Amino acid sequence: MIKKRDDMKSEEVISFSKSIIDRIIEMPQFIQSEFIMAYVNFGNEVITIDLINQCFAMGKKVYVPSIIKTYGNKKEIVASKISDLSNLVKGEYGIYGPSLQSLKAIDPKDLDFIVVPGVVFDIYKNRIGFGKGYYDRFLVQTSLKCYKIGLAFESQICESIPTDKHDYPLNAIATEKRII
């Protein structure tokens, strides 16, 4: 699936991403949310920069994930507030986020809406990421009122994917064709 996504033409990625973001910003769950966490796209993931900028324009508080080392050298996601995209630095795995010195963490329970990346999704709103479990461990810390939505190209959707007890299902998945 990663190769399939990486082989997409840049025009498709840009066009499909715009359609996906347009769907998201019209959702009542997004409109009503104040504290938004969105990943900063990497490679041929759904482009989130326009969504983040739209959040700023709407006066929403924006948080992006940052991978930090915790006790015992374990790595976890922390949601850190940003005020613009210019202060982001290339971090672990080549993904942009705030520098460790500029982290402004929020309690995951205070987030209203989370935009989640993934490699493959199914119609039951399950996802597979890169296999490190960062998002599964983070999402379980959020409140039940927090709306969690995966962004994917339609080509990343399967009928069913294998799941495990630690996998955390989403509330929805947005593609360029539909909201599941």
Residues above pLDDT 70, as percent of the chain = 99
pLDDT at 92 over 90: no
Q: Which amino acid is at 55?
A: C
What's the chain's average pLDDT?
Answer: 92
**Which pLDDT band holds residue 132 (cuts at 50, 70, 90)?**
confident
Q: What pLDDT is stored for residue 53 in this prediction? A: 95
Q: What pLDDT is stored for residue 164 in this prediction? A: 84
Q: What pLDDT is stored for residue 157 in this prediction? A: 96
List pLDDT tens digits, range 147-170. Answer: 999 999 999 999 998 888 878 889
CB burial of 27-63 (b: ≥16 within 10 Å; e: otherwise) equals bebbeebebbbbbbbeebbbbbebbbebbeeeebbbb
pLDDT at 131 over 80: no
Per domain, the residue ranges of the chain are 2-153
Task: Return the CATH fold of 2-153.
Answer: Rossmann fold (3.40.50)
**Which pLDDT band holds residue 6 (cuts at 50, 70, 90)?**
confident
Residues above pLDDT 90, as percent of the chain = 66
pLDDT at 42 over 90: no
